[in-house]
Structure 1
């Protein structure tokens, strides 16, 4: 098997290829030039996954895991920026199954369990690569931690939130409990923390994930699984990541068994879906802060990250991320943050953070990143992602099936594992009934 990562190309519509029967795509050609080197005797199942974020890699992993060993398969992942180039790559990475506004999130136990499974797979893959690597700088190239299991702490800042969080604590999951603690206990975890109502809520099992490192490791895990299945099975499994854009879905017609749209907010920019998805866009800016060398009082090694009106995602004793702003109805999905936008974000975020963690005033701003979230509509079960078949939106008769996995909003890290598994099973079996009706009902409402 030959897996290829397509490097940046001056012409995004021309795709270099290095398979045995290599073909070069011209600006006037179709995606027919993107072919897999699978068994010549039996055409492979071919799947296109649009988007290299939480949703895309979860779907890719589960397509491989749940596919038949007897059938050849090729998965092409397309993303114009690359791994974690969208909102997934700049997420805060605070993984827990609760909401500050409602009780336990919809299907929180299933989502939590599957997210932990994927996280463990990613960590095991990266650990294996580090052990086997003969390259001295491999660890540096792969950066540092994928997940810090330091927990998350949320001080109560209003009576309304105190009541909701108290209810959450009383009904918390056994696998991710919430402990109600007083000011002294909270300040033992984070010295100088402000606890205005003498009550805070600590989730010791909650996890601080580094999104880009996690996504890179999950991509490597998908590659390894494809290799493993090719070795042990009867036919080849292939996975290819293409750093290129897909401008419309019908470009892919006739080339794939199914196309799964996992583009987040960018799904609404596709001409076939423009104005048809019940999503709102929201641009969020995240500030990166570092403690100067002349400050000796660092953030404690094992102290939790903090959730409040602004969150603090702890990257180490001298590094943290602060987020996030909410710019509704933005169409800017660039991760680049101009200086004016960064300054405005800091003016908004720093007072919120300082109200809970006054020591933030000692930290220096080192940069910012941004992403465009796809926020789903509110339902009786909360703000739920959108899943389902898109064929009715496209019209006509297509041999290829089109599917959507979108609207993860600010909870993509929690929802991506379980929902990616369900969607992959639905795609493989061509059976949408495998998906929870709560996640497909958006389409019926749109039709009415």
Structure 2
């Protein structure tokens, strides 16, 4: 279990517009007072060592990009710390419905960059895991797009609120070419998902959206990191242990990157100082009994409504998610009362658009603690940045933060992991979009 010196405190701030912004080739960035790093010895004389705290979406994306974009003249060593294991936190139980749009099907902030980089990392992880399974004889050469990580059948979003019809229809016209949005009526929707109910005779179909098995994806991405480290003559190590304080790593690394999600606030140096809200979510694992013949059809997309249904096979789906804003419990385990209440709520919401869900049996329920970032004029955006001038630990080691992915970890993690890794390597925070670092101007000292 995590052992921290004090109880975490989560705080919430309102975002204020920052001025004095400049533009870079990577993204919009703000002027910064941070200076470039100067290491105590030449990079050619010793390996460059980085510590990544957290083995979820953020942590593994950063690890991959540190290895990918690190100095070619130096050996890169990356140590990943996570007591829960690869994907052992909230990332590992994510619903896995990936697309670049808001609930009103509006393209999210930097949606194109995030979507394209997510596709890239998903393909990298998929290739690594498939090669391993095929070589071990555990998986035949895939046919017709079959994959242990990705289900490529799209996502269907039924419209359930008449107030949103016009704005959603307008937003859908501005979709990406590689993630299309098609408005369809109930008749067309029922050809995709038989017996689907559309209260307003309208749904938005995203045929290019993906359904990811989050746990397998993270396993594949870690495997890809291992392969890349070997190719680059670098080193990747995983340490299944907690880091109770940042001081424990001081002096050992060029940089420490904190990617612990909601658990970032459990570190004593950051407790009560991050603009995060913790939100516990529960998802249910559903299975169709042997006596039931009406399987979820192979061609049918997953469903995204007040409750989502993430399809993992004709007789296996995940149903989520609840939103408990009062909990700071990061354990996956849930009580029987918690499970009963949550499942009743989720089944009720899902059955309004997919009545057949009541024929499925709940096999278990699991929980995760999301790190929800503050709401800005660009939506809820993750928080990134360098912490050296925010927390003074009196060491040459540089500290960086990547958290607040909320419910969009799979969309944001790839592109932001790349930007942060480049910023860490160059010790230049200006490489990060200022929308993601403005929170530091209000950080409590």
Normalised by the shorter chain, which TM-score bucket?
Answer: 0.7 to 0.9
Structure 2 residue 320 is matched with structure 1 residue 317:
no
1:102 CA displacement: 6.7
Aligned-partner Cα distance in 2 for 1:443–1:414: 23
Aligned to 2:119: 116
Structure 2 residue 65 is matched with structure 1 residue 62:
yes
Aligned to 2:252: 255
Aligned to 2:128: 125
> Do the aligned partners of 1:100 and 1:161 also contact (CA within 8 Å) in 2?
no
1:163 CA displacement: 2.7
Residues 235-255 of structure 1: CA distance to partner in whole angstroms, max 9, x if unpaired? xx1000111000011111111
> Do the aligned partners of 1:42 and 1:72 also contact (CA within 8 Å) in 2?
no
TM-score, normalised by the number of residues in structure 2: 0.87
For these two proteins, the number of residue pairs brought into alignment is 403
TM-score, normalised by the number of residues in structure 1: 0.87
Select the residue among 418, 431, 441 that pairs with 2:415. 418
1:391 CA displacement: 1.0
1:393 CA displacement: 2.5
Aligned-partner Cα distance in 1 for 2:358–2:326: 31
For structure 1, list consecutive stretches of 5 or more residues without a partner in the other structure.
1-9, 14-39, 231-236
Structure 2 residue 287 is matched with structure 1 residue 284:
no
Residues 200 and 138 of structure 1: CA distance in aligned 2, closer, same or farther (over 3 Å): closer
> Do the aligned partners of 2:2 and 2:83 also contact (CA within 8 Å) in 1?
no
Aligned to 2:152: 149
Aligned to 1:347: 344
Aligned to 1:105: 108
Structure 2 residue 296 is matched with structure 1 residue 293:
no
1:127 CA displacement: 1.8
Aligned-partner Cα distance in 2 for 1:123–1:92: 17
Residues 47-100 of structure 1: CA distance to partner in whole angstroms, max 9, x if unpaired? 000000000000000000001221012100000110111110011000000011
Aligned-partner Cα distance in 2 for 1:379–1:308: 24
1:168 CA displacement: 2.2
> Do the aligned partners of 1:109 and 1:173 also contact (CA within 8 Å) in 2?
yes
SS of 2:243's equivalent?
coil
Structure 2 residue 389 is matched with structure 1 residue 386:
no
Aligned-partner Cα distance in 1 for 2:256–2:250: 9
Aligned to 1:176: 179
SS of 2:352's equivalent?
helix
Aligned-partner Cα distance in 2 for 1:281–1:178: 32
> Do the aligned partners of 2:65 and 2:417 also contact (CA within 8 Å) in 1?
yes
Structure 2 residue 300 is matched with structure 1 residue 303:
yes
Residues 301-352 of structure 1: CA distance to partner in whole angstroms, max 9, x if unpaired? 1100001000000011001000000000311000112222111111111110
Aligned to 1:186: 189
SS of 1:394's equivalent?
coil
**Residue range with higher mean Cα deviation, 102-111 or 388-397:** 388-397
Structure 2 residue 438 is matched with structure 1 residue 438:
no
Aligned to 2:209: 206
Aligned to 1:195: 198
What is the alpha-carbon root mean square deviation over aligned residues?
2.1
1:395 CA displacement: 1.3
Aligned-partner Cα distance in 2 for 1:280–1:364: 33
Structure 2 residue 239 is matched with structure 1 residue 239:
no
Residues 233-284 of structure 1: CA distance to partner in whole angstroms, max 9, x if unpaired? xxxx100011100001111111110000000000011000000000000000
Aligned-partner Cα distance in 2 for 1:100–1:137: 38
Select the residue among 51, 54, 64 that pairs with 1:51. 54
1:130 CA displacement: 2.2
Aligned-partner Cα distance in 2 for 1:229–1:381: 38
For structure 2, list consecutive stretches of 5 or more residues without a partner in the other structure.
5-42, 141-145
> Do the aligned partners of 1:98 and 1:168 also contact (CA within 8 Å) in 2?
no
Aligned to 2:222: 219
